[in-house]
């Protein structure tokens, strides 16, 4: 059941459906039971409801869980209850199609500095529409507010198109913060450009300064170069995570019709969109004949047909012994979580788990060791070993 050249076989979905047919839910009041292919049983419990599009989650040191609602609200779950007062102090958010309040990330030293990082669709600028921005603010739980907000980066070239904002955030082992902006529906101009935002993964110091060793820093005399860019040629990256052993930053992104990708993010590398792709237009027509080209990176793994990947988490918790050391990726399209067996820089094989759970929007391995799943229209679920 291994992939050829680390790529998923076109018939793989059919193979998976027979392999994981034992994963059917059993009837249970208030929860659903599911067994993965390793014969480990889990229970899916609904923690809270009342959140429409839970884009991201972060568990605080005190056990509270922050949830971003794409429509523009920052909510708090305390002791299994969604608190009524929203956290105030957010900037103006342009909730537009796929845009709104997006990812959340705690500073690695959050307990000392209370910095919360978040991405959102911002209409700031002279042109109409919006683009993705990265901001940080201090979280004051006593006042249920964000304070001392600082805009760290704002993608220029606003557009009224409501798609491909990205966006995920990750910190590496050196304290740099990475975040993504999708191509904003302008595939012919932005992803391959060094002077336009979009279709890129960016790297900054935690205070928003541009690192001196970013790949295009030597071009600093050209004021049009986007010096925060770390990698380019991306379509719509909505997964970003640090490998717990190697420290590498992994990403995944939406393809068009087919060609969703997992990539290892490297400085200055071009990931090919839209010059190379394993996907086609939504109509079925081709926009490129190329699946590879010299100077452009190949994905570690790709899905055809598309699964519409949402979030990704490396599982380290001992609460899930059969999942430990593997990567989980949510599927918006097919309503399951993909469990990927990985080996250093390779994806070896995958399994479907948590089937029929709903449109998986976000994933989190909490400080308490539990895995949480945010489902569009289905609230927040917690996966518990039986």
Active-site amino acid positions: 164
Coil, helix or strand at residue 88: strand
Query: What values do phi and psi take at 258, rounded to 5?
Result: 90, 160
The angle formed by the CA atoms of residues 361, 366 and 369, to the nearest 5 degrees, is 125
CA pseudo-torsion sign 187, 238, 179, 215: negative
Distance CA 9, CA 6 (A): 9
Do residues 131 and 124 make contact, with C-beta atoms less than 8 angstroms apart? no
Handedness of CA 253, 259, 265, 268 (dihedral sign): negative
**5 three-class SS:** coil
Q: Residue 25: is it exposed, middle or buried by C-beta count within 10 angstroms (0-12/13-18/19+)? A: middle
SS3 (DSSP) at 76:
strand
Count the Cβ atoms, other than its own, within 10 Å of residue 109.
11
As a whole number of angstroms, the distance between CA 330 and CA 80 comes to: 23
d(CA 184, CA 132): 9
Please choose, from the candidates 149, 127, 132, the residue with its C-alpha nearest in 3D space to the C-alpha of residue 96. Answer: 132
């Amino acid at each position: 059941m291994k992939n050829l050249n680390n790529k998923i076989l076109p018939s793989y979905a059919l193979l998976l459906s027979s392999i994981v047919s034992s994963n059917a839910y059993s009837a249970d009041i208030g929860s659903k039971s599911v067994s993965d292919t390793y014969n480990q049983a889990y229970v899916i419990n609904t923690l809270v409801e009342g959140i429409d599009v839970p884009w991201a989650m972060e568990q605080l040191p005190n056990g509270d869980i922050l949830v971003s609602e794409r429509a523009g609200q920052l909510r708090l779950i305390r002791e299994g209850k969604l608190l009524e007062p929203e956290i105030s102090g957010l900037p103006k958010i342009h909730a537009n199609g796929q845009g709104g309040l997006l990812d959340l990330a705690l500073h690695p030293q959050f307990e000392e500095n209370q910095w919360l990082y978040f991405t959102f669709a911002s209409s700031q600028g002279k042109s109409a529409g919006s683009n993705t921005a990265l901001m940080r603010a201090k979280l004051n739980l006593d006042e249920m507010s964000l304070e001392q907000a600082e805009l760290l980066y704002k993608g220029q070239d606003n557009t009224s198109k409501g798609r491909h904002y990205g966006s995920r955030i990750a910190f590496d082992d050196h304290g740099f913060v990475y975040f993504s902006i999708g191509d904003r529906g302008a595939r012919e101009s932005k992803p391959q450009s060094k002077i336009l935002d979009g279709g890129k993964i960016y790297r900054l110091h935690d205070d928003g300064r541009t690192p001196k060793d970013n790949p295009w820093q030597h071009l600093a005399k050209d004021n049009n170069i986007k010096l925060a860019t770390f990698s380019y040629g991306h379509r719509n990256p909505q997964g970003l995570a640090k490998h717990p052993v190697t420290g590498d930053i992994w990403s995944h992104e939406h393809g068009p019709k087919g060609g969703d990708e997992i990539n290892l993010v490297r400085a200055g590398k071009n990931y090919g969109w839209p010059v190379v792709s394993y996907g086609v237009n939504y109509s079925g027509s081709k926009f490129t004949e190329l699946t590879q080209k010299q100077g452009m990176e190949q994905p570690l793994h790709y899905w055809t047909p598309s699964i519409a990947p949402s979030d990704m988490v490396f599982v380290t918790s001992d609460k899930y012994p059969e999942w430990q050391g593997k990567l989980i990726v949510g599927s918006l399209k097919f309503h399951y979580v993909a469990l990927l067996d990985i080996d250093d820089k390779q994806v070896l094989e995958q399994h479907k788990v948590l089937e029929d759970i709903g449109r998986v929007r976000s994933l989190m391995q909490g400080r308490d060791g539990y895995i949480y799943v945010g489902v569009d229209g289905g609230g927040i679920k917690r996966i518990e070993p039986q």
